[in-house]
Amino acid sequence: MTEFFTGALGFILAMFALGLVRVLRGPSDADRMMAAQLIGTGGIAALLLLGAVTGEQAAVDVALTIALLATFASIAMAKKGTSRLDGDRRDTMEGT
Partner 1 sequence: MTIASTYEVALAMIVLGLAAWIITAQKSFAAAGGFVAYGLLLPLVWVRLGGIDVALAEAAIGGGLSGVLLLGAAARLGTTETAVVAERPGVLVRLLASVLSAFIALSLAAVVLLLPDPGPTLAPAAVENSAATGLGNPVTNVLMAFRAMDTLLEKVVLLLALIGIWSLVPDRFWGGRPGMRHEADPRGVLAFLARLLPPLGIVIGLYVLWVGADHPGGAFQGGTILAAMWLLVMMAGLMDAPPISRRWLRLTLIAGPGIFLVVGLGGLWLGNAFLAYPSAYAKPLIVAIELAMTLTVAATLGLLMAGVPERRA
Partner 2 sequence: MSAAFNIMTIIAVSAGAFFFFAGTIGLLRFPDTLTRLHALTKADNLGLGFVVLGLLLQAPSIRDGLKLVAVWLLVLLAGATVSQLIARIARQDGASG
- The interface with partner 1 within residues 40-79 (CB under 8 A) comprises 43, 46-47, 50-51, 54, 56-59, 61-62, 64-66, 68-73, 75-77, 79
- 20 counts as binding partner 1 under rule CB under 8 A: yes
Alpha carbon of 84 to those of 27, 31, 44, 75, 87: distances in Å? Answer: 23, 20, 30, 12, 9
- Contact of residue 82 among partner 1, partner 2, none (CB under 5-8 Å per partner type): partner 1
Distance CA 5, CA 49 (A): 6
Distance CA 18, CA 36 (A): 15
- The interface with partner 2 within residues 38-77 (CB under 8 A) comprises 38, 40-42, 44-45, 48-49, 52, 57, 60-61, 63-64, 67-68, 70-71, 74-75
- Contact of residue 48 among partner 2, partner 1, none (CB under 5-8 Å per partner type): partner 2
Distance CA 48, CA 95 (A): 44
- Contact of residue 4 among partner 1, partner 2, none (CB under 5-8 Å per partner type): partner 2
What's the burial of 39, exposed, middle or buried (CB within 10 Å: 0-12/13-18/19+)?
buried
